[in-house]
């Protein structure tokens, strides 16, 4: 058998026999009631999975492991270098805390189908909050801890939560950020009023409780434990908001049954992580990766899940990741490319990693933004393990394309997120909807039916869901990304469709230029945007952040980078401007705010997302274009 036959047979069967393929995966979970049909092909706008089935996410993540005799095993491994706290929560302890919080919410009037907003930093309490909602059939909506009041208010009004579960504060590096004032301001702005707010009181700052506000420990201590409530497989598990292009937040809904089935498959098929082995997604519970791979997937598969409160650098140094991997014998590690670039910037020689015994580590997985080849190769050389770039979205809940290490590890091509995962039938289309030849860039779409776990809709906005994703190319999901499939069938995701730069009629990928910039030995990370130009329509402008210790003059660096882009892409790119920044503006999930930079360059008033870690860098960019 060749290296590709196992994958091809597996993937082809998932497309040819989707009902049989996913029914086998679903059989690994415990169902309160089996489904009437695996796939309801008549549902609109997209087919639905496991209709008629009943299941509970918390039971499958927690209770069934306790019942099977694993109650004494570690479920959550909490590492908080910003507070100096390190702790372990076993499955039995997790079951008790989740059941009591579920009982406390039920005593406050929360019923099956009600929404609960979770406003917390990375912590066991955040995971407990999510599982407690799932336990009683409530729908959780997690918002990044510290999210600004006005945006928080818009999510409160949209989801209309019965209860808010919050921390008294978060810690941003060395700064303590009280959450209660932000939450109170949001409630003053919002039209909807929750029945109650429950605060997990932290030692760094305690909330001053007023009417309708309760102490987390007190309500749990007084609560009657709640049992797991069966919900329909097609009932919502959670709502996760993303910023929409209209300015209104999009509430991505995740149904319960199909999501659990896909996540459980992925722990073996993609992440190659057997039960009992430690898994770490260095993400945030406010991001889709945190939902899928801090909370649900590892616990479904009985993998101790690392819950990390800190940053890749500065808490306290660039060796934090490696020390935690050593301490917990982490087998599979998932983070964002921007985290690796941050480490590379301050520790370009990787001295911290070279002194660490990371022999437990089998694979590193990167997602969140496209992984440029230079970052992938630097990480692989440093750690001595395969580094897997994989591509997915909030809408999908798990990987669209990846390297299926648990089936067979395919050859790695830097710059490619490898191959479609089960159930994903991908194509790259031109503007007329016709497939483009191999190697040519087009809009990436997925043909229906989509695999289990894909969002069944936007909360309260069915027409917006249809228009945004399925109207442009009937019968297909428009991913919003552009890219190409090479001669080996590997997908290369190059940019968001609106990040393609149109220079005098030539459609150029910003990612292709970024690959060239970040390959320079002085550059830690970069971004390229298209700035409006009267003659050419758009021209590319580059922004770079230098590695620690680099003292190369900006003029000399710019000349080398411009020459490198010209050599790699050609004079058609019209790449003539590059600027050095202290850092790149990013969202809390690590995405570079290219649209915001482009708006500043074009003299527009940007709608600045409220989750930028360091808004001061926008001032640097404004000065450049003043």
Together in a domain, 262 and 288: yes
In a domain, 492, yes or no: no
The token pair at 140 is: 């959780």
In a domain, 107, yes or no: yes
Together in a domain, 465 and 515: no
**pLDDT of the residue at 492:** 96
- The residue from 450, 483, 516 where one domain ends is 483
> Taking Cα atoms as reference points, which of 179, 207, 173, 213 lies closest to residue 193?
213
**CATH number of the domain residue 554 falls in:** 3.30.300.30
Together in a domain, 510 and 473: no
- Could you give the 3-state DSSP secondary structure of residue 252? strand
In a domain, 338, yes or no: no
With b for 16 or more beta-carbon neighbours within 10 A and e for fewer, the 370-395 pattern comes to bbbebbbebbbebbebbbbbbbbbbb
**pLDDT of the residue at 1:** 33
**pLDDT of the residue at 522:** 94
Q: Which helix (H) or strand (E) holds 443?
A: strand 442-447
Q: CA Rg, the chain, in Å?
A: 24
Q: Are 332 and 362 in contact (CB under 8 A)?
A: yes
**pLDDT of the residue at 355:** 85
Together in a domain, 456 and 533: no
In a domain, 369, yes or no: no
- The residue from 483, 516, 547 where one domain ends is 483
Task: Give the tens place of pLDDT for each residue, 137-176.
Answer: 999 999 988 888 888 999 999 999 999 999 999 998 889 9
Task: Give the tens place of pLDDT for each residue, 257-309.
Answer: 999 999 999 999 999 999 999 999 999 999 999 999 999 999 999 999 999 99
- The residue from 483, 517, 548 where one domain ends is 483
Residue 165, preceding peptide bond in cis (omega within 30° of 0): no
Together in a domain, 120 and 265: yes
> Taking Cα atoms as reference points, which of 42, 13, 407 lies closest to residue 23?
13
**pLDDT of the residue at 534:** 81
The region, left, alpha or beta by phi > 0 then psi within -120 to 50, assigned to residue 131 is alpha
How many domains is the chain partitioned into structurally? 2
In a domain, 364, yes or no: no
In a domain, 361, yes or no: no
**pLDDT of the residue at 567:** 85
Residue ranges, the chain, pLDDT below 50: 1-2, 245-246
> Taking Cα atoms as reference points, which of 538, 556, 536 lies closest to residue 546?
556
Together in a domain, 38 and 165: yes
> Taking Cα atoms as reference points, which of 33, 59, 50, 57 lies closest to residue 234?
50
Residue 471, Cβ density class (10 Å: 0-12 exposed, 13-18 middle, ≥19 buried): exposed
Domain carrying residue 591:
500-624
Together in a domain, 294 and 408: yes
Together in a domain, 15 and 142: yes
In a domain, 495, yes or no: no
Together in a domain, 513 and 424: no
In a domain, 44, yes or no: yes
Task: Give the tens place of pLDDT for each residue, 568-602.
Answer: 887 888 899 999 999 998 876 677 888 889 999 99
CB neighbours of residue 347 within 10 Å = 19
């Amino acid at each position: 058998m060749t290296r590709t036959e196992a994958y091809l047979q597996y993937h082809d069967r998932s497309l040819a026999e989707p009902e049989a393929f996913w029914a086998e995966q679903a059989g690994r979970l415990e169902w309160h009631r089996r489904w009437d049909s695996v796939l309801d092909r008549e549902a609109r706008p997209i087919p639905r999975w496991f209709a008629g089935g009943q299941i509970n996410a918390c039971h499958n993540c927690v209770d069934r492991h306790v019942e099977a005799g694993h109650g004494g095993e570690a479920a959550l491994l909490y590492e908080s270098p910003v507070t100096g706290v390190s702790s372990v929560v076993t499955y039995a302890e997790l079951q008790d805390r989740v059941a009591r919080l579920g009982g406390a919410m039920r005593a406050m009037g929360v019923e099956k189908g009600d929404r609960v907003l979770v406003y917390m930093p990375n912590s066991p309490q955040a995971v407990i909050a999510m599982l407690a909602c799932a336990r009683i059939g409530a729908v959780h909506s997690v918002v990044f801890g510290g999210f600004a009041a006005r945006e928080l208010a818009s999510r409160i009004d949209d989801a209309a939560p019965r209860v808010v579960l919050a921390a008294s504060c978060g810690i941003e590096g060395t700064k303590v950020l009280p959450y209660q004032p932000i939450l109170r301001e949001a409630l003053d702005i919002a039209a909807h009023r929750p029945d109650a707010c429950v605060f997990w009181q932290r030692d760094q700052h305690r909330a001053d409780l007023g009417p309708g506000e309760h102490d987390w420990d007190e309500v749990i201590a007084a609560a009657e434990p709640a049992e797991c409530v069966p919900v329909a497989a097609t009932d919502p598990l959670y709502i996760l908001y993303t910023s929409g292009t209209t300015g209104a937040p999009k509430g991505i809904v995740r149904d319960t049954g199909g999501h659990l089935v896909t996540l459980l498959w992925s722990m073996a098929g993609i992440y190659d992580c057997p039960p009992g082995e430690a898994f770490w997604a260095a993400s945030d519970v406010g991001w889709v990766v945190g939902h899928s791979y801090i909370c649900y997937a590892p616990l479904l598969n009985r993998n101790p899940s690392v819950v990390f409160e800190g940053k890749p650098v500065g808490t306290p140094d660039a060796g934090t990741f490696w020390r935690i991997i050593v301490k917990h014998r982490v087998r599979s590690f998932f983070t964002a490319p921007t985290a690796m670039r941050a480490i590379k910037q301050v520790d370009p020689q990787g001295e911290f990693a070279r002194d660490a015994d990371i022999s437990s580590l089998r694979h590193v997985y990167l997602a969140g933004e496209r992984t440029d080849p230079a970052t992938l190769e630097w990480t692989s050389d440093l750690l001595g393990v395969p580094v897997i770039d994989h591509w997915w979205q909030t809408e999908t809940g798990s990987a669209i394309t990846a390297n299926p290490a648990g089936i067979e590890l395919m050859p790695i091509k830097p710059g490619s997120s490898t191959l479609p995962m089960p159930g994903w039938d991908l194509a790259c289309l031109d503007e007329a909807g016709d497939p483009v030849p191999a190697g040519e860039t087009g809009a990436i779409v997925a043909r229906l039916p989509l695999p289990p776990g894909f969002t069944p809709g936007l909360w309260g906005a069915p027409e917006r869901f249809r228009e945004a994703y399925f109207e442009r190319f009937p019968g297909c999901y428009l991913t919003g990304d552009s890219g190409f499939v090479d001669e080996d069938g590997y997908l290369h995701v190059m940019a968001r469709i609106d990040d393609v730069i149109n220079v005098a009629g030539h459609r150029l990928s910003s990612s292709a230029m970024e690959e060239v910039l970040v390959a320079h030995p002085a550059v830690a990370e970069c971004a390229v945007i298209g700035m409006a130009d009267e003659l050419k329509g758009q021209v590319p402008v580059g922004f770079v952040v230098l590695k620690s210790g680099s003292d190369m003059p900006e003029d000399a660096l710019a000349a080398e980078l411009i020459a490198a882009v010209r050599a790699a892409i050609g004079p058609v790119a019209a790449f003539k401007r590059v600027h050095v920044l202290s850092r790149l503006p990013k969202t809390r999930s690590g995405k570079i705010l290219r649209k915001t930079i482009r708006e500043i360059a074009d003299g527009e008033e940007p709608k600045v997302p409220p989750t930028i870690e360091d808004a001061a860098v926008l001032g640097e960019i404004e000065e450049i274009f003043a």
